[in-house]
Chains A and B, each alone.
Chain A
Amino acid sequence: MLAFLIRRLGQAFLVVLAVGLLSFLMFRFVGDPVVSMSREDATVAEREELREALGLNDPVPVQFVTFVGRALQGDFGISYRNQRPVADLIAERLPATLELVFAATVLALMIGIPLGVITALKPRGALSNIVQGVSLVGVSTPTFVTGIMLILIFAVTLRWLPSFGRGETVDLGWWSTGLLTASGWRAIFLPALTLALFQMTLIMRLVRAEMIEILQSDYIRFARARGLPERSINYRLALKNALMPVLTITGMQIGGLIAFAIVTESVFQWPGMGLLFIQAVQFVDVPVMAAYLMFVGLVFVALNALVDVTYALVDPRLRVRG
């Protein structure tokens, strides 16, 4: 088991390194940070000096090795944009993104599972057809469109909820939370719903498919033959079994939600990592972009490794194959 873990960790490290290298190669095409950093009428010499000072004249491999060397010591550099340490910037934005992703996941489960059950139990009912139809729209509408629609309805027309921001936050020292104030709850609802929409339809469809399959399986038939109440068959037996893959997928999707949060965060001015990243791209803030991409890579790798380890614990055969 230890060997398995070490191998997994080694692979995870390689993946993160590869993400870093790929993003570094990409930065060459994002543009030139010196343009954003210097004055409008800066002289050629001024710009060249800045370029030299930032190490942008070094060959890309040298820049990459320098970056990785520093990152290994926990130093992600200083943001070109606002000259603050990148690690601080990310730590400052992480709570906002994680709270948004958490709220979106809870919302997706709370709405997705019941809808999945309803559509599975009465696959041909009118309600099922409506839910199925609406979910198709939900899954195919781009996030920024849903976000703006929700703002127009709930913020501009009804004026029930704020259109942007995180509301009042409470600073716990190492974590700033919006979940302890009423305005924070009001503020998180629309962005969480926007972010959850895709996930919600996915969960609904998954629950529906699993339930329909399970409801036709032998042990459900036996349960029916034994005369168990319908309620207990549907929820005790069928739903419980249908939820296993749903929870796995939901866990795996968290990485995706963090990555997708970029669009939601920029529509709702949610002060999280996605917004930080978008602004970094516009400014060509290489240290922030590199750290963000490596962080997201790390989240994906960690979630996958976690799932692998759990499976290996459950199923000894996987340990042998590695």
Chain B
Amino acid sequence: MNNHINICTGAFCAAIIAGGASAETLRWANVGDILTLDPYAHTESGTSSFLHHIYEPLVRRDAELKFEPALATAWEVIEPTRVRFTLREGVTFHDGAPFTSADVVASITRLTHPDARARGNLAGVETAEAVDDFTVDLVLNAADPLLINKLTGVFIIDEEWLIANDATLPGNTTTGVVTYASDHANGTGPFMLESRQPDAKTVLTANPNWWDEPIHNLTSIEFLPINSDATRVSALLSGEVDVITPSPLQDTERLEAAEGVTPLQNPSLRTIMFGLNVARDELHAGPNGGANPLRDIRVREALWRAIDMEAINSRVMRGKARIAGSMIAPPIAGYEAETDVKPDYDVEAAKALLAEAGFGDGFSTNLDCTNDRYINDEEICLAIASMWAGIGVEVELTAQTRSQHFPKVDRGETDIYMIGWATLPAMDGFSPLSAMLATRDGDWGGNNPNGYSNPRVDELAVMSASEVDEDKRVALIEEAIAIAREDIAYIPLHQQPLSWAARDNVDIIQFPDNYFRAWHYSVN
């Protein structure tokens, strides 16, 4: 990030002076509005990221994304299924009410209610019991090594406020229950809700009574959703906003050339990969209903070897992606550098592997991609389709909107499909292990529609779910991720970049989880 000394000239000068009156207001333009102010009524990370400014969890993530006490100052496992939290004293909600254990109990009860859309975020917690005013026990149905990870996304609401406004129950789309909390808010966080106009502007002001020592210098935040990429970039260039999230990659050069703004790019946690029809006898798209070549690991390796990720990175991703060999990114528990190696790009070797597997003349199948979910998703697929054509594998590309793509994938109707995984909100390798690698059965394998199944992986999934010794648990996950790499259950492509852009006078940290944490930011 650059902090140039701005030399004031012409129209640019006028913009600075015009903005000078509210110098400590951070004007943040995001691609979409938040869905709701009710933290338990949604499952979208963008909304969580915003609400974290108003509401706080018991445990939060620090600047390095490590756990840090927030509303709880300490926690201790007193029985495998009972975890005791000591709460911070002297914290008040924005309306002045004191924060106590009753608020935690009311919040957990509300989140685990069957109507709460986000209740899956705290699966495994049965109840919360107040021990005294500043001690709370969470009762689990089984030992849960990821409890703290989950709690970083569980925001605490004031009990009295919920009761006073008849909002103790979460909203419910089916029965038509609408909750006061969906357009009002009362948290303990560093910022307070000042006003909200959906799709137009939401204003937060700094909380003068925040329990933590502020390191930011903001007096207020204006959250301005701007859906259109071109308009969002224009608003930054014209000085109407200070930071845009995301900033389109194709505008990077233009933003670099522009005065007073800097594109900010860092690798994110989200790994983009191809899922494969590894188990079925036949291809979905086979012209003659022929045997499924993707069952053969040599074919999968050939496909992987035939992808020139360097070319995709430099041409499609403007050099900003991080080429991946593993399903998970480096900051995630379970990552090992040894498994994060992409086999060398080698067309001849790929052809040889195909011939060895009996598909020397190639084969044809389908490639399913999104066109509005990941950065340059359709372009990546187009490039790879032509690379595969070079080894005789003809794919018919279907690039469509996410709400069509994912149901098709989920029904197991795809041969090769694009999927991105960031392991959020847990930030843990258990997430792909339980959802994408474990055999689909009940709570397992929700995103493993094509039947990848390895008994050892299933075993590791079950073991790691209840292993409370962190080193042992991480070792189990590492083993599973390494097996997936060995089996080529998925073809990892890259970690897509976080791409934002900001005016030079704001100090911003990009977190790999793509959260906006303005209590670390300042405007100069």
A residues engaging B (CB < 8 A)? 29-47, 53-55, 75, 77-85, 89, 92-93, 148, 151-152, 155-156, 158-159, 162-166, 169, 176, 266-269, 271, 275-276, 278-279, 282-284
In the complex, the answer to whether B199 meets A269 with C-beta atoms within 8 Å is yes
Residue B300 lies at the interface, judged by CB distance under 8 Å to chain A? no
In the complex, the answer to whether B239 meets A82 with C-beta atoms within 8 Å is no
A151 to chain B, nearest CB (A): 5
B410 to chain A, nearest CB (A): 7
Residue B188 lies at the interface, judged by CB distance under 8 Å to chain A? no
In the complex, the answer to whether A271 meets B240 with C-beta atoms within 8 Å is no
Q: Name the interface residues of B186-202: CB closer than 8 Å to any CB of A.
A: 197-201
Name the segment of B100-108, B168-176, B354-362 touching the other chain: B168-176
A164/B198 contact (C-beta < 8 A), A42-B446, A81-B35 known: no
- Taken together as a complex, chains A and B put the C-alpha atoms of A82 and B44 apart, in Å, by 11
- Taken together as a complex, chains A and B put the C-alpha atoms of A89 and B232 apart, in Å, by 24
In the complex, the answer to whether A164 meets B231 with C-beta atoms within 8 Å is yes
A39/B227 contact (C-beta < 8 A), A162-B240, A165-B201, A271-B199 known: no
Interface size class of B (residues with CB under 8 A): 35 or more
Other A-B contacts than A83-B171, A156-B234, 4 sampled, CB-CB below 8 A, are: A41-B446, A43-B443, A83-B36, A279-B227
In the complex, the answer to whether A32 meets B197 with C-beta atoms within 8 Å is no
Per-residue A-contact encoding for B401-444, CB less than 8 Å = 1, 0 else: 11110110010000000000110100000010011000010111
Set of chain B residues within 8 Å of A151, measured between Cβ atoms = 230-231, 234
Which of B42, B238, B402, B407 lies in contact with A155, CB distance below 8 A? B238
Set of chain A residues within 8 Å of B404, measured between Cβ atoms = 29-32
Set of chain B residues within 8 Å of A92, measured between Cβ atoms = 198
B53 to chain A, nearest CB (A): 18
Q: Which 9 A-B pairs have the closest CB atoms?
A: A31-B403, A32-B407, A41-B435, A271-B199, A83-B171, A271-B200, A43-B446, A39-B43, A35-B406
Name the segment of B57-65, B116-124, B498-506 touching the other chain: B116-124
In the complex, the answer to whether A44 meets B446 with C-beta atoms within 8 Å is yes
Set of chain A residues within 8 Å of B121, measured between Cβ atoms = 39
In the complex, the answer to whether A271 meets B197 with C-beta atoms within 8 Å is yes
B residues engaging A (CB < 8 A)? 11, 14-15, 29, 32-33, 35-36, 38, 41-43, 117-118, 120-121, 171-174, 176, 178-179, 182-183, 197-201, 224-228, 230-232, 234-235, 237-240, 372, 401-404, 406-407, 410, 421-422, 424, 431, 434-435, 440, 442-447
Set of chain A residues within 8 Å of B197, measured between Cβ atoms = 169, 176, 271
Set of chain B residues within 8 Å of A279, measured between Cβ atoms = 32-33, 199, 227
In the complex, the answer to whether B43 meets A78 with C-beta atoms within 8 Å is no
Set of chain B residues within 8 Å of A162, measured between Cβ atoms = 240
Which of A31, A39, A162 has the most chain B CB atoms closer than 10 A to its own CB?
A39
- Taken together as a complex, chains A and B put the C-alpha atoms of A156 and B251 apart, in Å, by 15
A54/B173 contact (C-beta < 8 A), A35-B402, A155-B240 known: yes
In the complex, the answer to whether A282 meets B372 with C-beta atoms within 8 Å is yes
In the complex, the answer to whether A282 meets B401 with C-beta atoms within 8 Å is yes
In the complex, the answer to whether A267 meets B228 with C-beta atoms within 8 Å is yes
- Taken together as a complex, chains A and B put the C-alpha atoms of A85 and B198 apart, in Å, by 14
A181 to chain B, nearest CB (A): 13
In the complex, the answer to whether B43 meets A269 with C-beta atoms within 8 Å is no
A89 to chain B, nearest CB (A): 8
- Taken together as a complex, chains A and B put the C-alpha atoms of A81 and B44 apart, in Å, by 10
- Taken together as a complex, chains A and B put the C-alpha atoms of A104 and B174 apart, in Å, by 39
In the complex, the answer to whether A82 meets B174 with C-beta atoms within 8 Å is no
Which of B41, B228, B403, B435 lies in contact with A266, CB distance below 8 A? B228
A85/B178 contact (C-beta < 8 A), A155-B234, A279-B227 known: yes
Set of chain A residues within 8 Å of B183, measured between Cβ atoms = 84
A79 to chain B, nearest CB (A): 8
In the complex, the answer to whether A163 meets B238 with C-beta atoms within 8 Å is yes
In the complex, the answer to whether A164 meets B403 with C-beta atoms within 8 Å is no
**Chain B residue with the shortest CB-CB distance to A46:** B120
Set of chain A residues within 8 Å of B11, measured between Cβ atoms = 158-159
B45 to chain A, nearest CB (A): 8
Set of chain A residues within 8 Å of B198, measured between Cβ atoms = 82, 89, 92, 271
In the complex, the answer to whether A284 meets B403 with C-beta atoms within 8 Å is yes
A43 to chain B, nearest CB (A): 4
- Taken together as a complex, chains A and B put the C-alpha atoms of A29 and B232 apart, in Å, by 30
B480 to chain A, nearest CB (A): 15
A164/B173 contact (C-beta < 8 A), A41-B435, A46-B120 known: no
Which of B178, B232, B239, B410 lies in contact with A35, CB distance below 8 A? B410
In the complex, the answer to whether A41 meets B447 with C-beta atoms within 8 Å is yes
- Taken together as a complex, chains A and B put the C-alpha atoms of A92 and B35 apart, in Å, by 15
**Chain A residue with the shortest CB-CB distance to B241:** A164
Set of chain B residues within 8 Å of A266, measured between Cβ atoms = 227-228
A31/B407 contact (C-beta < 8 A), A84-B183, A266-B227 known: yes
In the complex, the answer to whether A44 meets B440 with C-beta atoms within 8 Å is yes
In the complex, the answer to whether A43 meets B442 with C-beta atoms within 8 Å is yes
In the complex, the answer to whether A159 meets B14 with C-beta atoms within 8 Å is yes
In the complex, the answer to whether A46 meets B227 with C-beta atoms within 8 Å is no
Set of chain B residues within 8 Å of A35, measured between Cβ atoms = 402-403, 406-407, 410
- Taken together as a complex, chains A and B put the C-alpha atoms of A292 and B14 apart, in Å, by 42
A75 to chain B, nearest CB (A): 8
**Chain A residue with the shortest CB-CB distance to B11:** A159
B314 to chain A, nearest CB (A): 28
Set of chain A residues within 8 Å of B201, measured between Cβ atoms = 165
Set of chain A residues within 8 Å of B445, measured between Cβ atoms = 44
In the complex, the answer to whether A163 meets B446 with C-beta atoms within 8 Å is no
B223 to chain A, nearest CB (A): 12
- Taken together as a complex, chains A and B put the C-alpha atoms of A159 and B197 apart, in Å, by 25
B122 to chain A, nearest CB (A): 11
Set of chain A residues within 8 Å of B172, measured between Cβ atoms = 78, 83
B400 to chain A, nearest CB (A): 9
Which of A43, A54, A93, A148 has the most chain B CB atoms closer than 10 A to its own CB?
A43
In the complex, the answer to whether A269 meets B120 with C-beta atoms within 8 Å is no
Set of chain A residues within 8 Å of B440, measured between Cβ atoms = 44
B220 to chain A, nearest CB (A): 16
**Chain B residue with the shortest CB-CB distance to A89:** B198
